[in-house]
Amino acid sequence: KNIALVAHDHRKKDMIEWVEWNVSNLLQHRLTCTGTTGRLVEKAIREKQVDLAIPDDFTMVKLRSGPLGGDQQLGALITEGKIDLIIFFWDPMQPQPHDVDVKALLRIAVLYNVPIACNRSTADFIISSPLMTYEYAPIVPSHEAYLQRELVADPREGRRVDAIRPDGRADDAPVGAPVIGPRWDQRREGENITLN
């Protein structure tokens, strides 16, 4: 499996402890890490090398640091089908300078049905799952309806923005059919426009 390991600064100690505890399992997989987490994980694995032989085919990819684009690099790997699961120890108590990147990474992982462990308990459940030793093909939802939607040039004209309803079903109304309610520039403050 291709396992991504990510940890915010205040959670890196937890990640390294988890890696040391699970190093024999992790050596059977390919690891991808962001920035400093990768350096610390590699160091922890090398220190355990005395007890365990590192397999010849063991690989570890180190991406950029999260705030410097590593989260986005990881998101791109997810969209390419190159990541099977993520162990992401994020810090719920500290704001991050790259919170938008973190949110985007979590969104992409959910969108592509990639399992994410955000705490040690979940990581323990995942790494010990029998599915870790078998080939597993996750069901990735089709996004074809989204890709095929028709967009209107200027939604401010009081017309439909696209031909897909909010519930995801294709809408029979022609593109450009008027929206129920006033145009964007005619509505009162706090009033919503309803799309049918």
User: Structural domain boundaries of the chain?
Assistant: 2-133, 142-190
10 with 93: CB under 8 angstroms?
yes
Q: Identify the CATH assignment for 2-133 out of 3.40.50.1380, 3.20.20.220, 3.30.830.10, 3.40.1190.20.
A: 3.40.50.1380
- Could you give the residue numbers annotated as active site? 71
pLDDT tens-place string over residues 175-184 = 454 444 444 4
Show the DSSP H helices in the chain as ranges: 12-26, 35-48, 70-79, 99-111, 120-127, 144-148
Determine the pLDDT at residue 56: 72
Q: Per mean pLDDT, which range of 45-54, 57-66, 138-147, 184-193 is the poorest?
A: 184-193
- Alpha-carbon span 62 to 32, nearest angstrom: 6
Phi-psi region of 79 (alpha: psi -120 to 50; beta: other; left: phi over 0): alpha
Determine the pLDDT at residue 101: 85
Cross-strand partners of 170: 164
Return the number of other C-beta atoms located less than 10 Å from residue 163's C-beta: 19
pLDDT tens-place string over residues 57-89 = 777 899 999 888 899 999 999 999 999 999 999
Long-range contacts of 137-142 (CB under 8 A, 24+ apart): 138/112, 138/113, 138/114, 139/113, 140/112, 140/113, 141/111, 141/113
Q: Note the Cα 135 to chain centre separation in Å.
A: 21
The more confident residue out of 124 and 154 is 124
